[in-house]
C-alpha cells in the first residue's frame, strides 16, 4: 500500500475508532455466517449451524480485540522506526498545545513578531548587501579615485589625462572605463521636454561591466570617436516611462540638450549604473580633450583575474608617484586608490543596516527567552506527568525528543505566521526607507529570505525546545511523585527561571540605550541651525540647453542669452502674485556643490598645485533674502552687481572669514577665482550645505551675472501652497521658453527632511525594536512573577495568618521583582557599554557612553519592571489565608 493511504487508514482508525470497530465486527460476522451456511448445506439446523460456526471460530472476543489493536497502532515502516516515533510525538505535541490555547496564542504571537521583524530586516539586507551586483564577475570590478594630500581630500574623481595615463601604464586592469552624469534636457516628438541624467561614458563602458542591452545594441567603437554618430542607450525605466516600452523607439531620433541623437538600445531592468542614469551616451573624450587639473570623471575598472585590491593599490601608487613628478603643476600631492564596486555602492549603508539587524536579533532573543520562560512554567506544572512518563519507562531521550518536537511545532507555526508579519512589515518598512538607499528595488520576500525565516524558526525551536529539557536532568523523580499536586518550585529550578528574567531585561536595556542614543542624536541633528529659513520656499531645477542658449567656453563669462533668461525669469517671478521673493542658486542650499582653487590678492604667491580649494556657490542677488540667510557684515549682492559694467564682487561665509582672515579685514579684500579678481563685499552666515551633521567648509558666493551657469535651481519664497507655486512657476517658465524642462519640484522643508532620512530611518526602526523589546521584557517579568505568586500562595497564606499585613506582602513581591530588575539593568548597562561601540559612527552630538541616556534608561527599565510586578503583587495581597492553607 502506498504510505499515504496506509497513513489514511491509520488516521481513520485514530479519528473514528467506533467506525473501525464496527467494520471489524462486520467482517467477522460475515465469516461466521458463511461458515454457518456451509454447515447448513451439510444438513445442520439453523441454530446448530450457528453454534457450530462460533465453536469452530474459537475465542471471538480475543480475535476482535487483536484486530482492533492492530488497526489502531500507527503503520509500521520496516527499518524506519523514527518516522513512527516522530508522528507520535507530533500528535502528542498538538494535543498538549490544544490543552492550553492561551499559552499557544501568546507563544505564537511572540514568535510571529520576532521572526517577522527579523525576516523583514533580513530581506532588506539580502537585497541591498548580500545579493551580488548584477554584473559579470562583480568581484573583479573596482572604482578608482584620486586624493590630494596637500588639500586633505580623500575621494576625488579622475581627470581625463590621468585616466588615459593610468590605462596605459597599469598592469592590474583588464580594462578601464570612465563616466560622468550631467543633467540634460530630453526632447522628443512625443511628450513634454524632460530633465534627465545623461551618463556620458567611454565606449567600452557596458563591455567592462559585462552587460549588453536587452533591446537593440551597444555602442560601436567609432561612435565614441569625435565625428561619429550621436547614439544613446536608454535605461529600462526611461524606456517604459517615456516611450511606453515600445520597441519601435530603436532607430528613432531624440534630442539631448537640442542635439539629435539616435536611440540604439535599451538596458535591462536590473541594470542601474550609475544609479541615477536615465540614458548612456558615448562621451568621445580623448587624451587631449580635457584638462589635467579638471577632476570630473568617475572611473570603473575590471581587474585581471589574478589581481587583488592590495596589488592594485600598490600599482596605482607607483603610477600616481610618476605622474606627480611629471606634472608638478597639476598633480602635486595627488594619489590614486581603488575600492571594490561593491564597497562603493553599498559601503555607506552597511553599518546602519547591520546595526538594525543586530537590534532585531536581540528582539528575537528576548522573544525566545519569553517563550522558553512560558514553556518552563508549563513544564513545571506538567512535572507530575513527566515523572509518571519517566516511571513508565519513557527514557530521557524520549522526553527530550518530545520537548524538541513541541518546540519545533511551535516555532515552525510561529515562523509561518512570521512570514505574514514580514510581508506586511516589509511594506511599511519600504515606505520608511530613505529614497537614496542603494539597490532598494531588489528588496522582497524571495526564496533566500524565506529560507532565512525557516532557519531562524528552527533555531528558536531548538533553543526553547532544549531549555525545558535541561530541567529533566535535575529532576528528582520520586520527590516529584511524592510531592503530589502541589509541585512547588525548588530552589534549583527557580534559579534557572530567575536567570532568564534579568537576561531579558538586560537585552532590552541594551536596545533601549541604543535607541536612546540614536534618538538623542537625531534630536541634536534637528536642533542644528541649517543657516537658512526653509519654510515656504520651493525649489525647481532648470538646465538651459546649449543649442538655444549660447554657452561657448571661450566666451565665458559673457553668456548673454543665459544671463538674460535668468534675469527675466527672476524678475517675472518676483512680480507674480503669491511670490514673496525669487532667486537662483547653482545648487540648492542643501547641496554640497563644487570646489575651485582661489588665491587672495596681496598674499605670498602659492604654486598652483598647493592652492587651497573652496566651495563655490554661484547665486543671484536675491538669494540671501529669499532663503533668509543673514548678512553678518557688509552688504548683500544687489541688482547693480548684475550690470554688464559692474565691478566683480563676491560674498564669503563665516568659515571662510575665520580661516583666511584671522587678523585681517575681509571686507574690501580681493580674491581671484575662475580667472577673475573679485572684491569681498559681505560676510554671510554659514549654511549647512553639506548636511546638518557636517561642519561647514569655507565657501564663496559669486553672482550668476559674473559667473554664469546654464544649470541652476530656481528658489521661490511663496505665500501659496507648494502645488500652486509649482503651477505658477511652470506657467511663467512656459511663457519664456515652452521647451524648457523643469525637474525636481520640491520644498526646502522636504529637502531638509530628506537630508536626515537616513538617521530618521535608523532611529525609527531601532526605537520600534527597543519598544517591542521592553514590552516583551515586561511581559516576561509579569509572567514569571505571576507564576511565582501562584506557587507561593501557601507561603503567603502562612505569613498572612501569622499577622503579615497586605502592605508587607506586597513589599515582599515587589522586592523580588526589584531585585531581578536591578540585576538585569546592571547586566544591560555593562552590555550596552560594550555594544554601543558599533553605534558610534551613527551618533551625532552625543557620547556613546552618555550618562544621561544610560541613567534615564536604567530608571525607565526599573520602573517598567516594577509596573509589571505590580499586578502579581496586588494579586498576592488578595490571597485568602484560610483558603490557601486549606488548599493543601
Partner 1 sequence: MGRSKSELLHGTLELLVLRVVESEPMNGYAIGRRIEDLTEDAASPLSIDEGSLYPALYRMERRGWLVSSWGTSENNRRAKFYRITRSGRKRLASERANWTSFAETVAKILESA
Binding site for partner 1 (CB under 8 A): 1, 3, 5-6, 9, 23, 26-28, 30-31, 33-35, 37, 56-59, 62-63, 66-67, 70-71, 73, 75-76, 78
CB closer to partner 1, 59 vs 288: 59
- Nearest approach, Cβ of residue 46 and partner 1 (Å): 17
Q: What are phi and psi of 593, to 5 degrees?
A: 70, -155
Place of cell 502541589: 486
- Nearest approach, Cβ of residue 44 and partner 1 (Å): 13
Euclidean distance between CA atoms 240 and 233, whole angstroms: 13
CB closer to partner 1, 25 vs 580: 25
- Nearest approach, Cβ of residue 506 and partner 1 (Å): 54
Name the 3-class secondary structure at 546.
coil
Strands of 267-313, DSSP E: 279-282, 295-303
- Nearest approach, Cβ of residue 389 and partner 1 (Å): 26
Helix (H) / strand (E) element for 545: namely: none
Peptide bond into 274 cis (omega under 30): yes
579-585: strand order across its sheet: 579-585, 711-718, 537-543, 742-747
Euclidean distance between CA atoms 653 and 655, whole angstroms: 5
Q: In sequence order, which residues have a C-beta less than 8 Å from that of residue 829 and are 6 or more positions away?
A: 509, 513, 854, 858
Q: CA 614 from chain center: how many Å?
A: 35
Helix (H) / strand (E) element for 252: namely: none
- Nearest approach, Cβ of residue 24 and partner 1 (Å): 8
Closest by Cα among 444, 454, 366, 466 to 411:
454
CB closer to partner 1, 68 vs 304: 68
The sign of the torsion formed by the CA atoms of 807, 813, 816, 818 equals negative
For 56, 76, 453, 734, 822, the CA distances from 112, given in Å and listed in that order, are: 63, 36, 10, 55, 29
Angle subtended by helix axes 851-877 and 806-835, to nearest 10: 150
The residues with which 200 forms a beta bridge, in sequence order, are: 180, 281
- Nearest approach, Cβ of residue 61 and partner 1 (Å): 11
The residues with which 145 forms a beta bridge, in sequence order, are: 337
| Contact status, residue 873 vs residue 785, Cβ threshold 8 Å | yes
The sign of the torsion formed by the CA atoms of 513, 514, 517, 523 equals negative
What is the C-alpha end-to-end distance of the chain, expressed in Å?
A: 55
Q: How many residues does the chain have?
A: 888
- Nearest approach, Cβ of residue 62 and partner 1 (Å): 7
Helix (H) / strand (E) element for 143: namely: strand 141-148
- Nearest approach, Cβ of residue 81 and partner 1 (Å): 14
- Nearest approach, Cβ of residue 1 and partner 1 (Å): 5
- Nearest approach, Cβ of residue 352 and partner 1 (Å): 58
CB closer to partner 1, 56 vs 837: 56
- Nearest approach, Cβ of residue 83 and partner 1 (Å): 14
- Nearest approach, Cβ of residue 67 and partner 1 (Å): 5
CB closer to partner 1, 68 vs 658: 68
CB closer to partner 1, 58 vs 305: 58
CB closer to partner 1, 36 vs 506: 36
- Nearest approach, Cβ of residue 35 and partner 1 (Å): 7
Residue 193: other Cβ atoms inside 10 A: 18
- Nearest approach, Cβ of residue 84 and partner 1 (Å): 11
Euclidean distance between CA atoms 43 and 289, whole angstroms: 123
Q: CA 148 from chain center: how many Å?
A: 33
- Nearest approach, Cβ of residue 402 and partner 1 (Å): 24
Euclidean distance between CA atoms 780 and 378, whole angstroms: 14
Place of cell 502579581: 872
Question: Using the 8-state DSSP alphabet, how is residue 80 labeled?
Answer: -
The residues with which 349 forms a beta bridge, in sequence order, are: none
Helix (H) / strand (E) element for 205: namely: helix 205-209
Residue 699: other Cβ atoms inside 10 A: 23
| Contact status, residue 582 vs residue 716, Cβ threshold 8 Å | yes
The residues with which 541 forms a beta bridge, in sequence order, are: 713, 743
Q: CA 842 from chain center: how many Å?
A: 14
- Nearest approach, Cβ of residue 36 and partner 1 (Å): 11
Q: In sequence order, which residues have a C-beta less than 8 Å from that of residue 97 and are 6 or more positions away?
A: 103, 104, 406, 409, 410
Q: In sequence order, which residues have a C-beta less than 8 Å from that of residue 622 and are 6 or more positions away?
A: 570, 574, 581, 582, 583
Burial class of 478 by CB neighbour count within 10 A (0 to 12, 13 to 18, 19+): exposed
CB closer to partner 1, 74 vs 433: 74
CB closer to partner 1, 46 vs 664: 46
- Nearest approach, Cβ of residue 15 and partner 1 (Å): 17
Nine-digit cell string for 138: 562583480
Residue 660: other Cβ atoms inside 10 A: 19
Amino acid at each position: 500500500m502506498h504510505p499515504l493511504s496506509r497513513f489514511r487508514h491509520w488516521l481513520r482508525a485514530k479519528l473514528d475508532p467506533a467506525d473501525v470497530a464496527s467494520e471489524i465486527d462486520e467482517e467477522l460476522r460475515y465469516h461466521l455466517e458463511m461458515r454457518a451456511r456451509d454447515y447448513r448445506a451439510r444438513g445442520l439446523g439453523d441454530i446448530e449451524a450457528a453454534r457450530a460456526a462460533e465453536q469452530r471460530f474459537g475465542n471471538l472476543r480475543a480475535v476482535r480485540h487483536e484486530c482492533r489493536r492492530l488497526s489502531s497502532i500507527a503503520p509500521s515502516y520496516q527499518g524506519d522506526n523514527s518516522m513512527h516515533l516522530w508522528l507520535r510525538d507530533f500528535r502528542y505535541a498538538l494535543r498538549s498545545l490544544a490543552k492550553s490555547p492561551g499559552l499557544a496564542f501568546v507563544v505564537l504571537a511572540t514568535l510571529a513578531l520576532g521572526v517577522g521583524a527579523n525576516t523583514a530586516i533580513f530581506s532588506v539586507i539580502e537585497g541591498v548587501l548580500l545579493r551580488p551586483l548584477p554584473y559579470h564577475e562583480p568581484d573583479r570590478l573596482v572604482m578608482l579615485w584620486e586624493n590630494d594630500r596637500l588639500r586633505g581630500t580623500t575621494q576625488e574623481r579622475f581627470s581625463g589625462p590621468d585616466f588615459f595615463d593610468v590605462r596605459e601604464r597599469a598592469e592590474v586592469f583588464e580594462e578601464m572605463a570612465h563616466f560622468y552624469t550631467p543633467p540634460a534636457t530630453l526632447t522628443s516628438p512625443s511628450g513634454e521636454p524632460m530633465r534627465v541624467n545623461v551618463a556620458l561614458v567611454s565606449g567600452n563602458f557596458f563591455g567592462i561591466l559585462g552587460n549588453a542591452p536587452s533591446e537593440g545594441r551597444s555602442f560601436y567603437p567609432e561612435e565614441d570617436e569625435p565625428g561619429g554618430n550621436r547614439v544613446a542607450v536608454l535605461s529600462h525605466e526611461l524606456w517604459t516611462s517615456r516611450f511606453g516600452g515600445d520597441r519601435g523607439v530603436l532607430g528613432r531620433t531624440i534630442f539631448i540638450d537640442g542635439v539629435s541623437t539616435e536611440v540604439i538600445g535599451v538596458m535591462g531592468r536590473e541594470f542601474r549604473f550609475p544609479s541615477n542614469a536615465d540614458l548612456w551616451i558615448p562621451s568621445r573624450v580623448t587624451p587631449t580633450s580635457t584638462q589635467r587639473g579638471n577632476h570630473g570623471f568617475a572611473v570603473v575598472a575590471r581587474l585581471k583575474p589574478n589581481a587583488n585590491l592590495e596589488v592594485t593599490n600598490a600599482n596605482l601608487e607607483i603610477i600616481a608617484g610618476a605622474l606627480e613628478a611629471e606634472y608638478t603643476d597639476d598633480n602635486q600631492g595627488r594619489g590614486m586608490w581603488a575600492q571594490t564596486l561593491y564597497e562603493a555602492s553599498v559601503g555607506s549603508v552597511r553599518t546602519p543596516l547591520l546595526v538594525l539587524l543586530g537590534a532585531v536579533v536581540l528582539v528575537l532573543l528576548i522573544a525566545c527567552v519569553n517563550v522558553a520562560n512560558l514553556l518552563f512554567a508549563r513544564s513545571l506544572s506538567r512535572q507530575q506527568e513527566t515523572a509518571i512518563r519517566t516511571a513508565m519507562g519513557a527514557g530521557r531521550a524520549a522526553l527530550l525528543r518530545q520537548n524538541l518536537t513541541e518546540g519545533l511545532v511551535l516555532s515552525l507555526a510561529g515562523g509561518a505566521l512570521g512570514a505574514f508579519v514580514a510581508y506586511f512589515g516589509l511594506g511599511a518598512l519600504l515606505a520608511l526607507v530613505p529614497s537614496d538607499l542603494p539597490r532598494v528595488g531588489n528588496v522582497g520576500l524571495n526564496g533566500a529570505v524565506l529560507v532565512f525565516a525557516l532557519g531562524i524558526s528552527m533555531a528558536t525551536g531548538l533553543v526553547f525546545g532544549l531549555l525545558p529539557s535541561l530541567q529533566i536532568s535535575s529532576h528528582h523523580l520520586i520527590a516529584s511523585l511524592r510531592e503530589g499536586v502541589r509541585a512547588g518550585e525548588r530552589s534549583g529550578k527557580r534559579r534557572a527561571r530567575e536567570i532568564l528574567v534579568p537576561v531579558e531585561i538586560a537585552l532590552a536595556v541594551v536596545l533601549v540605550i541604543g535607541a536612546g542614543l540614536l534618538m538623542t542624536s537625531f534630536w541634536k541633528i534637528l536642533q542644528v541651525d541649517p543657516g537658512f529659513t526653509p519654510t515656504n520656499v520651493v525649489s525647481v531645477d532648470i538646465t538651459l540647453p546649449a543649442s538655444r542658449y549660447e554657452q561657448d567656453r571661450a566666451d565665458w563669462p559673457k553668456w548673454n542669452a543665459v544671463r538674460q533668461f535668468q534675469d527675466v525669469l527672476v524678475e517675472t517671478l518676483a512680480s507674480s502674485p503669491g511670490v514673496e521673493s525669487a532667486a537662483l542658486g547653482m545648487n540648492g542650499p542643501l547641496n554640497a556643490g563644487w570646489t575651485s582653487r582661489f588665491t587672495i590678492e596681496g598674499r605670498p604667491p602659492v604654486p598652483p598645485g598647493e592652492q587651497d580649494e573652496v566651495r563655490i556657490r554661484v547665486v543671484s542677488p536675491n538669494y540671501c533674502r529669499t532663503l533668509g540667510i543673514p548678512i553678518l557684515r557688509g552688504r548683500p549682492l544687489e541688482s547693480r552687481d548684475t550690470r554688464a559694467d559692474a565691478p566683480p564682487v563676491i560674498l564669503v561665509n563665516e568659515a571662510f572669514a575665520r580661516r583666511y582672515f584671522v587678523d585681517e579685514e575681509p571686507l574690501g579684500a580681493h580674491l581671484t577665482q575662475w580667472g577673475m579678481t573679485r572684491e569681498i563685499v559681505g560676510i554671510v552666515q554659514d549654511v549647512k550645505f553639506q548636511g546638518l551633521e557636517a561642519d561647514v567648509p569655507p565657501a564663496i558666493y559669486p553672482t550668476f551675472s559674473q559667473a554664469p551657469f546654464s544649470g541652476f535651481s530656481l528658489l521661490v519664497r511663496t505665500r501659496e501652497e507648494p502645488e500652486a507655486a509649482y503651477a505658477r512657476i511652470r506657467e511663467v517658465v512656459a511663457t519664456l521658453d515652452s521647451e524648457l524642462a523643469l525637474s525636481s519640484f520640491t520644498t526646502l522643508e522636504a529637502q531638509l527632511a530628506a537630508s536626515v532620512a537616513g538617521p530618521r530611518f535608523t532611529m525609527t526602526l531601532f526605537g520600534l525594536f527597543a519598544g517591542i523589546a521592553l514590552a516583551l521584557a515586561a511581559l516576561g517579568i509579569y509572567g514569571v512573577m505571576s507564576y511565582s505568586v501562584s506557587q507561593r500562595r501557601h507561603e503567603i497564606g502562612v505569613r498572612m495568618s501569622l499577622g503579615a499585613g497586605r502592605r508587607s506582602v506586597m513589599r515582599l513581591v515587589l522586592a523580588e521583582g526589584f531585585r531581578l530588575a536591578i540585576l538585569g539593568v546592571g547586566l544591560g548597562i555593562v552590555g550596552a557599554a560594550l555594544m554601543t561601540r558599533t553605534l558610534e559612527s551613527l551618533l551625532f552630538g552625543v557620547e556613546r557612553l552618555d550618562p544621561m541616556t544610560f541613567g534615564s534608561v536604567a530608571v525607565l527599565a526599573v520602573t517598567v519592571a516594577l509596573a509589571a510586578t505590580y499586578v502579581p503583587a496586588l494579586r498576592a495581597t488578595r490571597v485568602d489565608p484560610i483558603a490557601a492553607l486549606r488548599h493543601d
